[in-house]
Amino acid sequence: MPKCTLCEVPLPDEFFRPAGRPNPQKPAPLHSTCKFCRMAARSKKSRQTEKSQLPFYKDRVFEVYGRKCNCCGETEPEFLTIDHVNGNGAEEKRKFKTGIELYKHIIRQNYPNTYQVLCMNCNWAKGQSSQCPHLKKKEKDGSANK
C-alpha cells in the first residue's frame, strides 16, 4: 500500500492520482501525495477540507480500537472519542492541534495500545477524577460480593 509523502499515511491506490501519461503496456506510476493532501494544498479553505477528511481517518482508527466505550459499552458513534490511556491527552493536544492530526499519528504509529475508545462522558469523568464512576461502581460492587 503506498504511503503519502505529506501525511505519511498508507492508503489504497485509489487515493493517489496516476502520474504521467497512460500506457497500456504497464500501469501508470502514482503521485506521491494522496488526494486529501493535494486538496488541502490547493484549497484556501483548508480547514473545511480537513473536516471532510476526518470521517475517513476516524473510521480507520475506530475500526481497529473498536466501536464501543471500553468503560460503559456505549456504541453511538457521535458519543465516542479516543482516550489517552496514560492520561497524557493535554500534552498531545498541544502537539496535535486537530483530531485528524491525532488520527493520522495513530495510524502512522500502527495503532499503539496507549489509546482506547471511551464515550465522551467516561472520558470527561476520567479527566476530572482519573477514574470513571462506572469503574468505581464496578470495584465497589466487586468488593461487596466478596
Beta strands in the chain (DSSP E): 16-18, 30-34, 80-84, 115-119
Q: Decide: 108 and 9 in contact? Cβ < 8 Å.
A: yes
Looking at the domain assignment, is residue 87 inside a domain? yes
Q: Tens digits of per-residue pLDDT, 33-88?
A: 888 787 776 655 556 666 778 888 899 999 999 999 999 999 999 999 999 998 88
Indicate the angle between helix axes 46-65 and 99-108, nearest 10 degrees: 50
Evaluate whether residue 32 is within a structural domain.
no
Quick one: how many helices (H) and strands (E) in the chain?
6, 4
Residues 6 or more apart whose Cβ sits within 8 Å of residue 47 = none
Q: Is residue 75 part of a domain?
A: yes
Using 50, 70 and 90 to split pLDDT, how confident is the model at 92? confident
**69: containing domain:** 65-144
Q: Would residue 140 count as lying in a domain?
A: yes
Q: Model's pTM, two decimal places?
A: 0.64
Q: How many domains does the chain have?
A: 1
Residue 15 belongs to some domain of the structure:
no
- Specify the amino acid at residue 84: H
Does 47 fall in a domain? no
Q: Note the pLDDT tens digit of each residue in 119-130.
A: 999 999 988 887
